A and B are shown apart, each in its own frame.
Chain A
Amino acid sequence: QMQLVESGGGVVQPGRSLRLSCAASGFTFISYGMHWVRQAPGKGLEWVALISYDGRNIYYADSVKGRFTISRDNPRDTLYLQMNSLRAEDTAVYYCVRSGGSGSSTNWFDPWGQGILVTVSS
């Protein structure tokens, strides 16, 4: 059974940093692109970042570019999101998500992790 489990969330002051982790299991991690998607309280879904299966191709939403870094450790089946210079508007549930397929044009999202809350507040 495919599973994605996020960790590392919590409350952090504005301007500080936090690193999220996502442990993957139940599928061949190295074969898939991986994403972070977030959802602010009471709001819709916002794609944050994508890393290709081999880590060579990375894309970010403009709202996080230059502040967040997505990375992966394929031998450990783990995805990361390093979040620096955090702002109040980064407060959200962050979901670790797999690309739906392993080829080209496969950037739909399945499966999803359970999500982890990041709160940026003084």
Chain B
Amino acid sequence: DIQMTQSPSSLSASVGDRVTITCRASQGVSSWLAWYQQKPEKAPKSLIYAASRLQNGVPSRFSGSGSGTDFTLTISSLQPEDFGTYYCQQYNSYPLTFGGGTKVEIK
């Protein structure tokens, strides 16, 4: 199984800050990597797929990069509504696996 490791596990940042979350795969997943945002008591929402493709309707302040084993989700200017937990997920091979999550709090 491919293990996905996210860092940090949590962060606190101010509105307007640039925020970066990293995701590392235990083996290469090419560009088959997605990112999700989950708010408390809500279903996750797709942000990015294929490592860098923005899902329709997602604000352009979100961006993704990387390939192989190392990936990054960047929020260029953090907004109050960006609080929540962010997960990466690989879909290169079965079983499909998620990272452990990064909880983002607004200072």
Contact = CB atoms under 8 A, between A and B. Distances in A.
Given A59-B94, A62-B95, A107-B96, A44 B46 contact: no
B46 A100 contact: yes
Interface residues of B, number: 22
Main secondary structure on chain B at its contact with chain A? Answer: loop
A114 interface: yes
Interface residues of A, number: 23
Interface string B62-106: 000000000000000000000000010101001111111100000
A110 B55 contact: yes
B98 A100 contact: no
B56 to A, nearest CB: 9
Contacts of A113: 43
B100 A108 contact: no
Interface of A: 35, 44-47, 50, 59-62, 95, 100, 105-115
The 5 closest A-B CB pairs, nearest first, are: A108-B34, A110-B46, A107-B91, A112-B43, A47-B96
